[in-house]
Structure 1
Amino acid sequence: MMAHREDLKDGLEAYVLGKARLARQAAAKLAAQSAEDKDEALRWMADALWDERRAILAANERDVEAALRGGSSPERADRLQLSEGRVEAMVEGLHQVSQLPCPIGDILEQRTLQNGLRLERCRVPIGVLAIIYESRPNVTVDASGLAIKTGNAVVLRGGSEALGSNRAIVAALHAGLRRSPVSEDVVQLVESVERHSVDVLLRARGLVQLAIPRGGAGLIRHVVDTATVPVIETGVGNCHIYVDRDANPDMALSILLNAKTSRPSVCNAAETLLVDAAIAQKWLPMALRGLAATGVEVRGCEQTLAIAASDEGSGCAAADGPMEAVRQPRICAATESDYETEFLGLTLAVKVVDDVRAALSHIERYGTQHSEAIVTENEKTAEYFLSHVDAAVVYHNASTRFTDGFEFGFGAEIGISTQKLHARGPMGMEQLTSYQYRVRGTGQVRV
């Protein structure tokens, strides 16, 4: 039995490394191809994706049904689910990427040294990217498109819950690539759902140049702890909205509801609301009613609970007809873990804080360096917040939901980095490149 397990393990390693070798060979060829070849490949991929949308949606429907039968939450199922509109957005993303300037070959720096050598620093591809991700099938398309545009090959290892969707998507992408100048081997899908297949990729030094995890905290931690290849750590999003004493009340409510409810299952959704004590008594009841009207459950601090009870007792939230259902928000006492949690659903932690400094202290303790926002009309307070908060993306009077490569004009994104080395925030094309020094001489030798 032990020998049988070892044989299976050896076979799995050979399978995964075989995928990585094919990608490595394809990456070497792709690096020498023109920007026009790569853009043509992206357009063919987009066309094939749209042509095969019915097969993709059928496979995705089976994945979603299986996930729900297996006990997945509606929020997790939303991250998995595709629609014709979401497929159309993936197609549009590929077209947008194809229309953007290619960064490969860009001269980042050039100068002539005292000895006459001409020094250039230019962008080059990284090589083979291993993308380890959960649930979201759109990552399959975004990662493939950005990798090819930047001259990289990609090895995809998605979650078991999306295997059917990913197979159908990659089949469509390969069909498009077969009609293009670019080899279909630049996109490899690891279909094994064994966890060991992830570890093989993460240790494939010499074949994989960079690993990028996209998923929950457990996946990201496993990748960071296991990998012997370089890793870009992408983001768990415990994002905060801080409503300052000088905030416009209506703007603050609009931003809060958008950040929490427009798509609660994604990493740029708000998970904690911080409210300045100076306006909490007046503004927070309105916010709690707005959250209740959109189905959000609140986990509140003692002051939040007291304000909610006072508001209910005053009757100021009462209304006739349908609004009566919103008079009493779903609210319970927050625990320490609530402020640490990325809910990825219609649950929000709320805390009343003394001022902007207290808000920053809370974020420093519980934040994940993803996206943070302040709502205020006081420019001085806003600048203090923006310059002191530690996050990849910081907002003044805007929703955290804009932390997205598509929204930032990158066409798509390969992830949102929460680290500070090499890449930070939404990662587009530039973050998938390295650089090379090219030195041109006239016969110089070192003495």
Structure 2
Amino acid sequence: MDYEVRYVRNFTDIDDKIITRANERGEDPISLSSRYCDEFQSDMAYLQCLPPSVEPRVSEHINQIIDMIKKILDKGCAYVIDRDVYFSVDKFPAYGRLSGRNLEDNRAGERVAVDKRKRNPADFALWKSAKDGEPYWESPWGPGRPGWHIECSAMSAAYLGHSFDIHGGGEDLVFPHHENEIAQSCAACSSSSISFWMHNGFVNVDNEKMSKSLKNFFTIRQVIELYHPLALRFFLLGTHYRSPINYTKAQLDIASDRLFYIYQSLHDCEENVGEQHPINLDDSLPADILNCIQNLCRDFENSMSDDLHTPVVLAALSEPLKFINDLLHTRKGKKQKLRSESLFALERQIRTVLSTLGLMPSSYSEVLRQLREKALTRAHLTESHVLQKIEERNLARQSKQYERSDEIRQELAAFGIALMDGPDGTSWRPTVPLDIQEGVVST
């Protein structure tokens, strides 16, 4: 079933941390955040993430935020103190229903400094009065800027209405951010509702939480200097979105290797089938091929319907890819009845899966070239060096120096370069470095 989706991804382009960083750099806070917003959008494009329908920014929606705060005040669910506006959590009995936390469980000062002016330590700011050196906007309560939580409620209401289907975010936002969103949205509009909350797990690095304080923090831009963006996407899809994901170099090497195998198989398949593609011949395919395609369709639909269980989908590609390579490279496969038709049908179904997962490249050959380039970069090698080693190995084999030939193969394998001997000579492809292969086997 096709759905017309309206996807909103908002930017908080003004907050305490942004102001602090801008002041340190002597830069306008809005200009600073705008530059980072642009970089984020570029990163998402690298990863082939679909662009949102709209990307609102807080600084461009102050009027909508002020209007929502007015409604909350009119309902008696907020109060003004010294030009600051606070939401009164005591006025919202359902507070805590998303996180499962009770008000008495929320320790004052756990996340923010205690403000003794507040009626309840759990009350949170809807509007903050301006301080010296901070950007501000005029409001009925004086110059100031919005609190963090109200921004998201106001912008989602502006573009999706007070009730919509899915609200996403990291699991660290469940409390207090999303809890506060629910409270203030319901206070502004009693019929406000969200059908599903979807929260993704944390990113760990070598089994430790990724954080700047631990100095194990990587940006997308840094990662894709060494790995193809689609290899990073493949790696991310290998873990269910709600589970913590463990970022390691070994896992990225494995993901990159797997992606090369997929694209090489499909490239070889496309080259073999040529331009004459059969149409609607699925029912006449050999039983084992037809069964393989049906299994992939079933596993794909069931897994994606089961809370977007992408790791199972990726695993389901193994069988049809094996069939493709058997048809392409084994004597029995080359004699298979309806071989070209089977290859086309298998490639077509895998293409559908990859397209849905955002893993379909514009050109198999181009992304294979880029994957090779990234492998050489990681290995600190050039292709001319690899070709030189291949030639050295060929001479060693001709001289029956088989021990030296094996040494050269192992030397390159240690750097993640695999040599492949064929009727047309020796070629190379990126692979998982030898130490990682041995580590995977040993574990």
What band does the TM-score fall into relative to the shorter chain?
under 0.3
Q: Which has the higher helix share?
A: 2
Q: TM-score, normalised by structure 1?
A: 0.21
Higher RCO, 1 vs 2 (CA within 8 Å, ≥6 residues apart): 1
Q: Which has the higher strand share?
A: 1
**Structure showing greater Rg:** 2
Q: TM-score, normalised by structure 2?
A: 0.21
